Amino acid sequence: MGNCLKRNQTQLQQNQQCPKCLMVFLAQSSALQYQQHVTNCRVRQIQNPPAQLRNVQVGDVVIEPNHHQNPNPNPNPNPRTTPHYIQEDFQNRKQKYYWCKELLPGSKIKYKWNKKLTPPMPAANVSEMLALPWVQIKNSEFPIKQTWFRLQLEKKRIPWQQGAETLSVNKESFLMTTLNMYKEINWHKEVKVHIDGDKVLDAGGLLREWANLIMKEIIHPESGMFQIADCDDVSYKINSEADTDEHIIDCFKLLGIVVGKCIFERIPLNIYFDRSIIKHIIGQPIFLEDIYYYDRQLYQSWDFLVNNKFEADDLSEYFVVYRQSKRDYYELKQGGQNIQLDMDNCQDYVNLCIEYYTYLSVKPFLTAFLSSLYSIIPKQLLSLLEPLELEMILYGTPFIDINDWRDNTDYKGAYYRTHQTIQWFWEILEQLDQFNLAKFLQFCTGSTRTPVEGFRKLESNRGNCSKFCVESVPFTKASPYPKAHTCFNRLELPMYETREDIEQHLKAVIQADLDGQFGME
């Protein structure tokens, strides 16, 4: 870790010009930024021919024209097609199920996961679906909302036939190289991650792994940007005491890009945000019950205040909040240090505290995060969703259904469902706990989670449905371990002769540290 707090001190000693696009970097500019730009240009040269040069100076660097803008307002690309994962919603009429996160009856806090029957689409095809009014969709069940939501996002996608963006990153400075390049990327295009010095080609799997690693590095306690929320689930809230310098703000902007791209590409996140962040994303007000997932002690304290009666002398609080980093008091309202809490104003006090803790104290960080997120996913579209529905889209399911996994697996080569090695394979997976199942799923697919529709909705790149597949390969002493192709959700499983052999090699893979291991392809 630590990259988030470091700045590149190496500077160019003289003006440098990119040999591919002729972009000029002035002396004293970041040498690392120049090197990464040149690398990116080399990889992207075939896909994106250089535009006519028009230098514009911003600070200490001369930037190239905006390559995101199409010089031809009426291009003639290959016709846009509806992705397979959406076509399946209209074409496959057999009964399907999905996992739904719902509040318990009578509770505003506690929820449970229910397996529900997927309702039929209220339209016969994509065109009719898109024509449905927003209000009707808003009041529909989640699967209908999600399909309409995805169709609207697909209208923003730039078809892969028009070229892909390449994000070149360095393993040794993963976060910094991403920070130096992410603003150059058009995130509505297909984005391929290129690891410097690595021959692995990205067909979707590396993007999932890149997103996971970026989020882990930004969320890591050493970055000082987030804190673990005091609640039942392991989730993260923005640290109001974080530095407000340009580097940290840029990290929050990058986080918004990562979350937006994951929503856009249907990549489940491996990290939870607290409920206040979820509500900010969809533009809903934050209430006392939401604080339960932000800080349980604050929730219990404020809940006690507004739901109990007190004598005048029982309360010694004032309309102020103590700020640890500044060692001062923040007035929740003008003259707050002289306004004592009583039975008549305690609700007002709690409301102002909620606004301060979840918005005012983190405003620069939240603004940076949301502005980047909305550049990929429009706020109006996100406002279609309720908090639990957005969490279902962001995180998928927090558990792995081994029966669903087995039922939605294909086999290639010598393997088939009742093959002895395959029977051993599933017997071993059935014995694993959820933590190790998630690690193995990450090894196979690049993600620790599945969509709420389960394994039938696993995808490769470009929206193609791609079920988990086990393919047979010969067992050799030179290559005894399973090999994963995360871009295609495919596992190459050697044809082991005994159950002990397969168990030994599967567990070795599961126990390995998979973060940053981009060589699984």
Q: Tell me the torsion sign for CA atoms 168, 171, 173, 176.
A: positive
Name which residue leads in pLDDT, 167 or 68: 167
Task: For residue 256, give the nearest of 369, 367, 336 by alpha carbon.
Answer: 369
Q: Tell me the torsion sign for CA atoms 39, 45, 47, 49.
A: positive
pLDDT at residue 63 tops 60: no
Q: How far apart are CA 211 and CA 258, in angstroms?
A: 6
Tokens of 414: 């010598």
Give the domain ranges of the chain.
97-156, 402-511
Name which residue leads in pLDDT, 201 or 231: 231
Q: Where are the alpha helices (DSSP H) in 141-274?
A: 142-154, 174-179, 205-219, 246-264
Calculate what percentage of the chain has a pLDDT beyond 70: 78
Mean pLDDT of the chain: 83
Q: How far apart are CA 462 and CA 191, in angstroms?
A: 11
Q: Is 236 helix (H, G, I), strand (E, B) or coil?
A: strand
pLDDT at residue 40 tops 60: no
Neighbours of 26 (CB within 10 A): 14
- pLDDT value of position 12: 60
Active site residues: 487
Q: Tell me the torsion sign for CA atoms 105, 108, 109, 113.
A: positive
Amino acid sitting at position 463: G
The CATH number of domain 402-511, selected from 3.40.190.10, 1.10.10.2520, 3.30.2410.10, 3.40.720.10 = 3.30.2410.10
Q: How far apart are CA 408 and CA 296, in angstroms?
A: 40
Q: How far apart are CA 151 and CA 146, in angstroms?
A: 9
Q: What is the mean pLDDT of residues 466-490?
A: 90
Give CA separation, 218 vs 241, 271, 278, 340, in Å.
Answer: 15, 11, 18, 40
- pLDDT value of position 291: 96
Q: How far apart are CA 409 and CA 411, in angstroms?
A: 7
Q: What is the pTM (predicted TM-score) of this model?
A: 0.80
For residue 358, the Cα-to-chain-centroid distance in whole angstroms is 21
Q: Read off the pLDDT of residues 498-513 as tens digits, 9 standing for 90 and up.
A: 999 999 999 999 988 6
Reduce the secondary structure of 166-202 to three states and give it as a string.
EEEECHHHHHHHHHCCHHHCCCCCCEEEEECCCCCCC
Helix (H) or strand (E) holding 380: helix 379-382
pLDDT at residue 457 tops 90: no
Amino acid sitting at position 470: V
pLDDT at residue 433 tops 50: yes
- pLDDT value of position 323: 86
Could you tell me the end-to-end alpha-carbon distance of the chain, in angstroms, rounded to an integer? 25
